[in-house]
Amino acid sequence: LMPHCRIVTPNLPELAVLTGSAIAVDEASACRQGEELSRTLSTAVLVKGGHARGNEAVDWLLQPQCPPLRFMAPRLPREMRGTGCMLSSAIAASIALGMSLEESVRRAKRYVFDVLSGSA
């Protein structure tokens, strides 16, 4: 089904399974894996960095024949479940409203951060 999707949104462990690789240990290896998956599927891939370490939660949008785009938000100081589902749903809603893929990802990331941080 993934080649028929406009975008797929794997986290780092999912990306490793989908590419048959070890879990990415840094942004460069996550981008390489995401680019590989994007080429293989011929669709956009949003590599979600929630499982990474650091003060920022960094996601990468990778699309065939486009430069990688980095989306960042401060990392919240607790473990959470369901954030990827919330993010992908928010992206889908924005795409349905006619927004570009880049703007959909940007708005969805901000929305999820605002909801989870109590800013919304």
Q: Is the pLDDT of residue 120 over 80?
A: no
Q: Where are the domains of the chain?
A: 2-117
pTM for this predicted structure:
0.89
pLDDT digits (tens, 9 = 90+) for 34-92: 999 999 999 999 998 765 566 778 899 999 889 999 999 887 776 666 678 899 999 99
Can you tell me the distance from the alpha carbon of 75 to that of 8, in angstroms, rounded to the nearest whole number? 22
More confident residue, 82 or 110: 110
End-to-end CA distance of the chain: 34
Residue type present at position 23: I
Q: What is the CATH number of domain 2-117?
A: 3.40.1190.20
Does the pLDDT of residue 119 top 70, yes or no?
no
Are 44 and 62 contacting, i.e. CB atoms less than 8 angstroms apart? yes
